Chains A and B, each alone.
Chain A
Amino acid sequence: MQSPLDSPRGELLDQYVCARITDLRNVDIGLFDYDRNNALYYFIMNADEYIYMRYGGRDADSADKYLDHDSLQLALEKGLKLHDRYNAGELPAQPRPESFFPRGIASLKAAEMDRGRCVECHLIQDYTLRDREENGSLNKVRDMYRYPDIERIGIKLDIAKGLAIKSVSGPAKDAGLRAGDVISAIEGVPVHTFGDLQYRYDKVPRPDTKSIELAVLRGERTENLTVALPSEWWWTDIYYRFLTIDPEYYFFTELLSDAEKETLKLPVDGFAARITDVDPAAKVFNIHTLKEDDIIVAVDGVESDPFTKSVEIYIKLNVTAGEPVTLDVIRDGERMEILLKPHRQYFRKRAPGK
Protein backbone atom coordinates (compact mmCIF):
# COMPACT_ATOMS: atom_id res chain seq x y z
CA MET A 1 0.00 0.00 0.00
CA GLN A 2 1.79 3.16 -1.21
CA SER A 3 1.54 6.03 1.24
CA PRO A 4 3.95 8.91 0.64
CA LEU A 5 4.54 11.00 3.74
CA ASP A 6 2.96 14.06 2.20
CA SER A 7 -0.35 12.26 1.61
CA PRO A 8 -3.11 12.30 4.28
CA ARG A 9 -2.55 8.60 4.98
CA GLY A 10 1.20 9.13 5.01
CA GLU A 11 0.84 11.88 7.59
CA LEU A 12 -1.14 9.47 9.74
CA LEU A 13 1.37 6.66 9.25
CA ASP A 14 4.15 9.01 10.31
CA GLN A 15 2.54 9.10 13.76
CA TYR A 16 2.95 5.32 14.02
CA VAL A 17 5.88 2.98 14.30
CA CYS A 18 5.33 0.62 11.38
CA ALA A 19 6.46 -2.96 10.84
CA ARG A 20 5.84 -5.26 7.91
CA ILE A 21 6.29 -8.95 8.70
CA THR A 22 6.42 -11.69 6.09
CA ASP A 23 7.84 -14.63 8.03
CA LEU A 24 6.09 -15.79 11.21
CA ARG A 25 8.94 -18.01 12.36
CA ASN A 26 9.64 -16.05 15.56
CA VAL A 27 6.34 -14.21 15.85
CA ASP A 28 4.10 -14.67 18.90
CA ILE A 29 1.05 -16.04 17.09
CA GLY A 30 -0.79 -16.23 20.40
CA LEU A 31 -0.69 -12.43 20.52
CA PHE A 32 -1.18 -11.93 16.79
CA ASP A 33 -4.31 -14.04 16.38
CA TYR A 34 -6.18 -13.52 13.11
CA ASP A 35 -7.49 -15.28 10.03
CA ARG A 36 -4.29 -16.74 8.57
CA ASN A 37 -5.69 -16.86 5.05
CA ASN A 38 -5.45 -13.10 4.64
CA ALA A 39 -2.77 -11.82 2.29
CA LEU A 40 -2.49 -8.58 4.26
CA TYR A 41 -3.62 -7.92 7.80
CA TYR A 42 -2.86 -5.13 10.27
CA PHE A 43 -2.77 -4.72 14.03
CA ILE A 44 -3.00 -1.27 15.58
CA MET A 45 -1.60 -1.52 19.08
CA ASN A 46 0.91 -0.04 21.50
CA ALA A 47 4.25 -0.95 23.02
CA ASP A 48 2.46 -2.50 26.03
CA GLU A 49 0.94 -4.94 23.49
CA TYR A 50 -2.53 -3.56 24.06
CA ILE A 51 -4.38 -4.17 20.78
CA TYR A 52 -6.58 -1.24 19.78
CA MET A 53 -7.97 -2.91 16.67
CA ARG A 54 -7.44 -5.29 13.82
CA TYR A 55 -7.69 -4.19 10.21
CA GLY A 56 -8.23 -6.54 7.29
CA GLY A 57 -10.46 -9.43 6.44
CA ARG A 58 -11.68 -11.30 3.44
CA ASP A 59 -14.37 -13.64 2.25
CA ALA A 60 -14.47 -16.61 -0.12
CA ASP A 61 -14.89 -14.37 -3.16
CA SER A 62 -11.97 -12.03 -2.75
CA ALA A 63 -8.71 -11.85 -0.81
CA ASP A 64 -8.84 -8.05 -0.66
CA LYS A 65 -12.55 -7.43 -0.29
CA TYR A 66 -12.21 -5.50 2.97
CA LEU A 67 -8.90 -3.79 2.23
CA ASP A 68 -9.47 -0.20 1.27
CA HIS A 69 -7.44 3.01 1.47
CA ASP A 70 -10.27 5.09 2.95
CA SER A 71 -11.22 2.58 5.63
CA LEU A 72 -7.54 2.11 6.54
CA GLN A 73 -7.27 5.86 6.98
CA LEU A 74 -10.34 5.80 9.25
CA ALA A 75 -8.74 3.01 11.28
CA LEU A 76 -5.47 4.93 11.61
CA GLU A 77 -7.36 8.00 12.84
CA LYS A 78 -9.30 5.93 15.38
CA GLY A 79 -6.08 4.24 16.46
CA LEU A 80 -4.50 7.58 17.38
CA LYS A 81 -7.57 8.55 19.42
CA LEU A 82 -7.56 5.22 21.23
CA HIS A 83 -3.84 5.62 21.90
CA ASP A 84 -4.53 8.99 23.56
CA ARG A 85 -7.32 7.43 25.62
CA TYR A 86 -5.04 4.56 26.63
CA ASN A 87 -2.39 7.00 27.79
CA ALA A 88 -5.08 8.85 29.75
CA GLY A 89 -6.07 5.58 31.46
CA GLU A 90 -9.52 5.59 29.87
CA LEU A 91 -9.48 2.16 28.21
CA PRO A 92 -10.48 -1.02 30.02
CA ALA A 93 -7.83 -3.57 30.92
CA GLN A 94 -7.07 -6.10 28.21
CA PRO A 95 -5.53 -9.40 29.30
CA ARG A 96 -2.53 -10.24 27.14
CA PRO A 97 -3.12 -13.45 25.19
CA GLU A 98 -0.90 -16.37 26.12
CA SER A 99 2.25 -16.54 24.04
CA PHE A 100 2.49 -19.27 21.45
CA PHE A 101 5.07 -19.65 18.71
CA PRO A 102 4.98 -21.56 15.41
CA ARG A 103 7.55 -24.09 16.67
CA GLY A 104 4.80 -25.36 18.99
CA ILE A 105 2.96 -26.80 15.97
CA ALA A 106 4.72 -30.15 15.61
CA SER A 107 4.06 -30.86 11.92
CA LEU A 108 4.89 -27.28 10.92
CA LYS A 109 8.19 -27.46 12.77
CA ALA A 110 9.10 -30.79 11.15
CA ALA A 111 7.98 -29.99 7.61
CA GLU A 112 8.93 -26.34 7.27
CA MET A 113 10.93 -24.80 10.10
CA ASP A 114 13.49 -27.58 10.51
CA ARG A 115 14.13 -27.30 6.77
CA GLY A 116 14.76 -23.59 7.05
CA ARG A 117 11.63 -22.62 5.13
CA CYS A 118 9.64 -19.45 5.56
CA VAL A 119 6.62 -19.77 7.86
CA GLU A 120 3.89 -18.16 5.79
CA CYS A 121 0.71 -17.12 7.54
CA HIS A 122 -1.56 -19.75 5.99
CA LEU A 123 0.79 -22.55 7.06
CA ILE A 124 -0.09 -21.84 10.70
CA GLN A 125 -3.70 -22.78 10.04
CA ASP A 126 -2.88 -25.67 7.69
CA TYR A 127 -0.54 -27.46 10.06
CA THR A 128 -2.56 -26.73 13.20
CA LEU A 129 -5.50 -28.57 11.65
CA ARG A 130 -3.34 -31.40 10.39
CA ASP A 131 -2.07 -31.96 13.93
CA ARG A 132 -5.61 -31.88 15.32
CA GLU A 133 -6.79 -34.35 12.69
CA GLU A 134 -3.95 -36.72 13.50
CA ASN A 135 -4.48 -36.59 17.26
CA GLY A 136 -8.25 -36.90 16.92
CA SER A 137 -9.13 -33.49 18.36
CA LEU A 138 -10.32 -31.88 15.14
CA ASN A 139 -13.79 -30.33 15.39
CA LYS A 140 -14.62 -29.37 11.83
CA VAL A 141 -17.43 -26.96 12.68
CA ARG A 142 -15.24 -25.15 15.17
CA ASP A 143 -11.81 -25.48 13.57
CA MET A 144 -12.30 -25.42 9.81
CA TYR A 145 -15.18 -23.05 9.12
CA ARG A 146 -13.50 -20.00 10.58
CA TYR A 147 -14.46 -16.37 10.27
CA PRO A 148 -18.12 -16.58 9.21
CA ASP A 149 -19.37 -14.25 6.51
CA ILE A 150 -21.63 -11.43 7.76
CA GLU A 151 -23.29 -11.29 4.35
CA ARG A 152 -24.80 -14.67 5.21
CA ILE A 153 -26.90 -12.86 7.82
CA GLY A 154 -27.72 -10.06 5.42
CA ILE A 155 -25.17 -7.36 6.27
CA LYS A 156 -23.38 -5.62 3.42
CA LEU A 157 -20.95 -2.92 4.47
CA ASP A 158 -20.04 0.32 2.79
CA ILE A 159 -16.45 -0.85 2.90
CA ALA A 160 -14.79 2.54 2.42
CA LYS A 161 -16.68 3.76 5.50
CA GLY A 162 -15.54 1.02 7.84
CA LEU A 163 -18.49 -0.51 9.70
CA ALA A 164 -21.18 1.61 8.05
CA ILE A 165 -23.93 -0.62 6.68
CA LYS A 166 -24.67 -0.26 2.98
CA SER A 167 -27.69 -2.55 2.81
CA VAL A 168 -29.49 -5.15 4.87
CA SER A 169 -31.56 -8.20 4.06
CA GLY A 170 -32.70 -11.44 5.70
CA PRO A 171 -31.95 -11.84 9.43
CA ALA A 172 -30.26 -8.43 9.72
CA LYS A 173 -33.27 -6.68 8.21
CA ASP A 174 -35.66 -8.68 10.36
CA ALA A 175 -33.68 -7.57 13.42
CA GLY A 176 -34.18 -3.91 12.55
CA LEU A 177 -30.76 -2.99 11.20
CA ARG A 178 -30.82 -0.29 8.55
CA ALA A 179 -28.61 1.08 5.81
CA GLY A 180 -26.52 3.89 7.31
CA ASP A 181 -26.23 2.27 10.75
CA VAL A 182 -22.65 1.92 11.96
CA ILE A 183 -21.88 -1.28 13.86
CA SER A 184 -20.18 -0.44 17.14
CA ALA A 185 -20.25 -3.68 19.15
CA ILE A 186 -20.94 -7.38 18.84
CA GLU A 187 -21.96 -9.42 21.86
CA GLY A 188 -21.10 -6.40 24.00
CA VAL A 189 -17.53 -6.10 22.70
CA PRO A 190 -16.69 -2.79 20.99
CA VAL A 191 -15.52 -3.07 17.38
CA HIS A 192 -13.83 -0.40 15.28
CA THR A 193 -13.18 -2.12 11.97
CA PHE A 194 -14.40 -5.00 9.85
CA GLY A 195 -11.35 -6.92 11.10
CA ASP A 196 -12.59 -6.49 14.68
CA LEU A 197 -16.13 -7.50 13.75
CA GLN A 198 -15.08 -10.62 11.87
CA TYR A 199 -12.66 -11.61 14.65
CA ARG A 200 -15.35 -11.30 17.33
CA TYR A 201 -18.03 -12.94 15.18
CA ASP A 202 -15.72 -15.93 14.84
CA LYS A 203 -15.67 -16.23 18.64
CA VAL A 204 -19.44 -16.77 18.84
CA PRO A 205 -19.92 -20.38 20.01
CA ARG A 206 -21.17 -22.74 17.33
CA PRO A 207 -23.23 -24.46 16.23
CA ASP A 208 -25.80 -23.93 18.99
CA THR A 209 -25.90 -20.12 19.24
CA LYS A 210 -29.26 -18.93 17.92
CA SER A 211 -28.77 -15.16 17.98
CA ILE A 212 -26.20 -12.41 18.42
CA GLU A 213 -26.41 -8.93 19.90
CA LEU A 214 -25.25 -6.06 17.71
CA ALA A 215 -24.98 -2.44 18.79
CA VAL A 216 -25.24 0.17 16.06
CA LEU A 217 -24.83 3.93 16.01
CA ARG A 218 -27.87 5.50 14.39
CA GLY A 219 -27.38 9.24 14.33
CA GLU A 220 -26.71 10.26 17.92
CA ARG A 221 -28.23 7.13 19.43
CA THR A 222 -26.99 3.61 20.04
CA GLU A 223 -29.44 0.84 19.21
CA ASN A 224 -29.01 -2.67 20.58
CA LEU A 225 -30.45 -5.26 18.24
CA THR A 226 -30.77 -9.04 18.34
CA VAL A 227 -30.06 -10.83 15.08
CA ALA A 228 -31.46 -14.36 14.78
CA LEU A 229 -28.85 -16.63 13.27
CA PRO A 230 -29.93 -18.96 10.47
CA SER A 231 -28.92 -22.61 10.54
CA GLU A 232 -25.35 -23.07 9.34
CA TRP A 233 -24.61 -19.37 9.94
CA TRP A 234 -21.01 -20.37 10.54
CA TRP A 235 -20.60 -22.17 7.22
CA THR A 236 -18.32 -20.61 4.61
CA ASP A 237 -16.91 -21.77 1.32
CA ILE A 238 -13.47 -22.81 2.51
CA TYR A 239 -12.16 -23.97 -0.85
CA TYR A 240 -9.71 -21.06 -1.00
CA ARG A 241 -8.16 -22.16 2.27
CA PHE A 242 -6.72 -25.31 0.66
CA LEU A 243 -7.26 -27.30 3.84
CA THR A 244 -6.08 -30.78 3.09
CA ILE A 245 -8.61 -32.31 5.48
CA ASP A 246 -11.64 -30.99 3.62
CA PRO A 247 -12.82 -33.92 1.47
CA GLU A 248 -13.07 -33.29 -2.26
CA TYR A 249 -15.86 -35.28 -3.86
CA TYR A 250 -16.25 -33.81 -7.36
CA PHE A 251 -20.02 -33.42 -7.65
CA PHE A 252 -22.60 -30.69 -7.16
CA THR A 253 -26.18 -31.02 -5.95
CA GLU A 254 -29.45 -29.24 -5.43
CA LEU A 255 -31.79 -30.11 -2.57
CA LEU A 256 -35.02 -31.85 -3.59
CA SER A 257 -38.23 -29.93 -2.91
CA ASP A 258 -40.51 -31.17 -0.13
CA ALA A 259 -43.02 -32.29 -2.80
CA GLU A 260 -40.36 -34.35 -4.57
CA LYS A 261 -39.32 -35.94 -1.29
CA GLU A 262 -42.91 -36.86 -0.49
CA THR A 263 -43.39 -38.36 -3.94
CA LEU A 264 -40.28 -40.48 -3.45
CA LYS A 265 -41.34 -41.33 0.14
CA LEU A 266 -38.20 -39.72 1.54
CA PRO A 267 -38.07 -37.84 4.85
CA VAL A 268 -38.96 -34.18 4.34
CA ASP A 269 -36.27 -33.08 6.81
CA GLY A 270 -33.66 -35.20 5.01
CA PHE A 271 -30.90 -34.02 2.74
CA ALA A 272 -31.91 -35.90 -0.40
CA ALA A 273 -30.40 -34.03 -3.32
CA ARG A 274 -30.15 -34.31 -7.08
CA ILE A 275 -26.76 -34.34 -8.79
CA THR A 276 -26.57 -31.30 -11.04
CA ASP A 277 -23.00 -31.68 -12.24
CA VAL A 278 -20.15 -34.16 -12.01
CA ASP A 279 -16.54 -33.04 -12.33
CA PRO A 280 -14.65 -35.24 -14.84
CA ALA A 281 -11.95 -35.55 -12.16
CA ALA A 282 -14.28 -37.98 -10.35
CA LYS A 283 -13.64 -40.54 -13.08
CA VAL A 284 -9.97 -39.70 -13.46
CA PHE A 285 -9.30 -40.20 -9.74
CA ASN A 286 -11.83 -43.03 -9.29
CA ILE A 287 -13.82 -41.07 -6.70
CA HIS A 288 -17.34 -42.27 -7.58
CA THR A 289 -19.61 -43.27 -10.49
CA LEU A 290 -22.43 -40.78 -9.88
CA LYS A 291 -24.21 -39.26 -12.87
CA GLU A 292 -26.26 -36.13 -13.40
CA ASP A 293 -29.87 -36.52 -12.15
CA ASP A 294 -28.93 -39.26 -9.68
CA ILE A 295 -30.57 -38.57 -6.33
CA ILE A 296 -28.44 -39.06 -3.21
CA VAL A 297 -30.72 -40.27 -0.44
CA ALA A 298 -28.33 -41.24 2.33
CA VAL A 299 -24.66 -41.28 3.32
CA ASP A 300 -23.65 -44.48 5.11
CA GLY A 301 -27.36 -44.96 5.91
CA VAL A 302 -27.87 -41.47 7.35
CA GLU A 303 -30.73 -39.58 5.68
CA SER A 304 -30.90 -36.41 7.77
CA ASP A 305 -28.85 -34.33 10.15
CA PRO A 306 -29.81 -31.62 12.65
CA PHE A 307 -26.94 -29.38 11.48
CA THR A 308 -27.66 -29.25 7.80
CA LYS A 309 -30.03 -29.97 4.96
CA SER A 310 -27.19 -30.03 2.46
CA VAL A 311 -25.74 -33.41 1.63
CA GLU A 312 -22.55 -31.68 0.51
CA ILE A 313 -22.09 -29.97 3.88
CA TYR A 314 -22.94 -33.24 5.61
CA ILE A 315 -20.15 -34.96 3.68
CA LYS A 316 -17.69 -32.14 4.41
CA LEU A 317 -18.44 -32.36 8.13
CA ASN A 318 -18.73 -36.10 8.58
CA VAL A 319 -16.63 -37.82 5.96
CA THR A 320 -12.88 -38.09 6.28
CA ALA A 321 -10.86 -37.50 3.14
CA GLY A 322 -9.45 -40.79 1.92
CA GLU A 323 -11.98 -42.99 3.75
CA PRO A 324 -14.79 -44.46 1.58
CA VAL A 325 -18.49 -44.14 2.39
CA THR A 326 -21.56 -45.70 0.77
CA LEU A 327 -24.15 -43.48 -0.85
CA ASP A 328 -27.77 -44.63 -1.23
CA VAL A 329 -28.78 -43.38 -4.65
CA ILE A 330 -31.90 -43.39 -6.81
CA ARG A 331 -31.07 -43.64 -10.51
CA ASP A 332 -33.86 -43.88 -13.09
CA GLY A 333 -36.25 -44.94 -10.31
CA GLU A 334 -34.00 -47.74 -9.09
CA ARG A 335 -32.36 -47.68 -5.68
CA MET A 336 -28.66 -48.59 -5.59
CA GLU A 337 -25.49 -48.16 -3.58
CA ILE A 338 -22.51 -46.22 -4.90
CA LEU A 339 -19.12 -46.02 -3.25
CA LEU A 340 -17.66 -42.56 -2.64
CA LYS A 341 -13.93 -42.33 -2.04
CA PRO A 342 -13.35 -38.61 -1.44
CA HIS A 343 -9.98 -37.08 -2.12
CA ARG A 344 -7.91 -34.90 0.12
CA GLN A 345 -7.81 -31.31 -0.94
CA TYR A 346 -4.69 -30.18 -2.71
CA PHE A 347 -2.12 -28.98 -0.19
CA ARG A 348 0.58 -26.68 -1.46
CA LYS A 349 3.35 -27.85 0.84
CA ARG A 350 2.99 -31.42 1.94
CA ALA A 351 4.60 -32.72 5.07
CA PRO A 352 7.36 -35.28 4.45
CA GLY A 353 6.00 -38.70 3.61
CA LYS A 354 2.36 -37.49 3.39
Chain B
Amino acid sequence: MRQLGLALAISVAALIANSAANDIDWHEYYEHAREEAQRTGKPMLIAFRCAP
Protein backbone atom coordinates (compact mmCIF):
# COMPACT_ATOMS: atom_id res chain seq x y z
CA MET B 1 0.00 0.00 0.00
CA ARG B 2 2.86 2.29 0.94
CA GLN B 3 4.57 1.51 -2.39
CA LEU B 4 1.37 2.32 -4.28
CA GLY B 5 1.12 5.65 -2.47
CA LEU B 6 4.73 6.47 -3.26
CA ALA B 7 4.26 5.60 -6.93
CA LEU B 8 1.16 7.77 -7.06
CA ALA B 9 2.99 10.70 -5.46
CA ILE B 10 5.88 10.37 -7.92
CA SER B 11 3.45 10.26 -10.85
CA VAL B 12 1.65 13.39 -9.66
CA ALA B 13 4.95 15.22 -9.14
CA ALA B 14 6.07 14.23 -12.63
CA LEU B 15 2.82 15.46 -14.08
CA ILE B 16 3.15 18.79 -12.27
CA ALA B 17 6.78 19.18 -13.35
CA ASN B 18 5.90 18.34 -16.94
CA SER B 19 2.99 20.75 -16.84
CA ALA B 20 5.19 23.52 -15.43
CA ALA B 21 7.82 22.93 -18.09
CA ASN B 22 5.11 22.98 -20.71
CA ASP B 23 3.58 26.30 -19.69
CA ILE B 24 4.38 29.85 -20.69
CA ASP B 25 6.10 31.90 -17.97
CA TRP B 26 4.14 35.08 -17.36
CA HIS B 27 5.69 37.94 -15.43
CA GLU B 28 3.37 39.80 -13.07
CA TYR B 29 5.19 43.12 -13.44
CA TYR B 30 5.95 45.02 -16.62
CA GLU B 31 9.39 46.12 -15.47
CA HIS B 32 10.46 42.52 -14.88
CA ALA B 33 9.35 41.61 -18.40
CA ARG B 34 11.17 44.60 -19.83
CA GLU B 35 14.38 43.66 -18.04
CA GLU B 36 14.19 40.17 -19.52
CA ALA B 37 13.42 41.58 -22.97
CA GLN B 38 16.45 43.88 -22.72
CA ARG B 39 18.60 40.93 -21.71
CA THR B 40 17.35 38.46 -24.31
CA GLY B 41 16.45 40.74 -27.22
CA LYS B 42 13.00 39.16 -27.42
CA PRO B 43 9.87 41.19 -28.11
CA MET B 44 7.27 41.47 -25.36
CA LEU B 45 3.65 40.47 -25.11
CA ILE B 46 2.01 42.50 -22.36
CA ALA B 47 -1.48 41.40 -21.37
CA PHE B 48 -3.85 43.50 -19.31
CA ARG B 49 -6.48 41.38 -17.67
CA CYS B 50 -9.16 43.21 -15.73
CA ALA B 51 -12.82 43.15 -14.96
CA PRO B 52 -14.49 44.93 -17.92
Using an 8 Å CB-CB cutoff, how does the interface string of A21-38 with B read, 1 for contact, 0 for none?
110100110001010111
A18/B52 in contact, CB under 8 A: no
Given contacts A6-B22, A14-B24, A17-B44, 7 further A-B contacts (CB under 8 A): A13-B45, A21-B47, A21-B48, A22-B48, A39-B49, A47-B37, A49-B34
Question: Could you tell me which A residues sit within 8 Å of B by CB distance?
Answer: 3-6, 10, 13-22, 24, 27-28, 32, 34, 36-47, 49, 52, 58, 63, 76, 79-80, 83, 87, 120-122, 240
Residues of B6-52 whose CB lies within 8 A of A: 21-30, 32-34, 36-38, 40-52
B49/A52 in contact, CB under 8 A: no
| Also in contact, A19 and B46, with CB within 8 A (given A47-B38, A120-B51) | yes
B47/A40 in contact, CB under 8 A: yes
From A58, A80, A121, contact of B48 by CB (8 A): A121
Contacts of B44 in A (CB 8 A): 16-19, 43-47
Contacts of A22 in B (CB 8 A): 28, 48-50
Q: How far is the CB of A11 from chain B (nearest CB, A)?
A: 10
| Also in contact, A122 and B52, with CB within 8 A (given A5-B23, A44-B43, A45-B46) | yes
Complex-state Cα separation, A32 to B46, whole angstroms: 9
B33/A38 in contact, CB under 8 A: no
Contacts of B34 in A (CB 8 A): 17, 47, 49
| Also in contact, A46 and B43, with CB within 8 A (given A19-B28, A19-B30) | yes
A20/B49 in contact, CB under 8 A: yes
Complex-state Cα separation, A45 to B43, whole angstroms: 6
B27/A20 in contact, CB under 8 A: yes
From B36, B40, B47, B51, contact of A122 by CB (8 A): B51
Greatest chain A CB density within 10 A among B30, B38, B42, B44 is at: B44
For the complex of A and B, list the 7 residue pairs with the smallest distance between their C-beta atoms, beginning with the closest. A121-B50, A19-B33, A47-B37, A19-B27, A39-B52, A83-B43, A47-B38
Complex-state Cα separation, A83 to B42, whole angstroms: 8
A39/B50 in contact, CB under 8 A: yes
Complex-state Cα separation, A37 to B50, whole angstroms: 8
Closest to A241 in B: B52
Greatest chain A CB density within 10 A among B37, B41, B48, B52 is at: B48
Contacts of B37 in A (CB 8 A): 17, 46-47
Closest to A82 in B: B43
Contacts of A6 in B (CB 8 A): 22
B51/A17 in contact, CB under 8 A: no
Q: How far is the CB of B48 from chain A (nearest CB, A)?
A: 5
Q: How far is the CB of A224 from chain B (nearest CB, A)?
A: 30
Closest to B27 in A: A19
B40/A20 in contact, CB under 8 A: no
Complex-state Cα separation, A211 to B33, whole angstroms: 40
Contacts of A18 in B (CB 8 A): 24-27, 33, 44-47
Contacts of B25 in A (CB 8 A): 18
Q: How far is the CB of A20 from chain B (nearest CB, A)?
A: 4
B49/A79 in contact, CB under 8 A: no
From B26, B41, B42, B51, contact of A20 by CB (8 A): B26
Complex-state Cα separation, A83 to B41, whole angstroms: 10
Closest to B35 in A: A47
Closest to B26 in A: A20
Complex-state Cα separation, A34 to B50, whole angstroms: 13
Complex-state Cα separation, A22 to B28, whole angstroms: 8
A19/B45 in contact, CB under 8 A: yes
Greatest chain B CB density within 10 A among A16, A17, A38, A42 is at: A17
A15/B48 in contact, CB under 8 A: no
B22/A5 in contact, CB under 8 A: yes
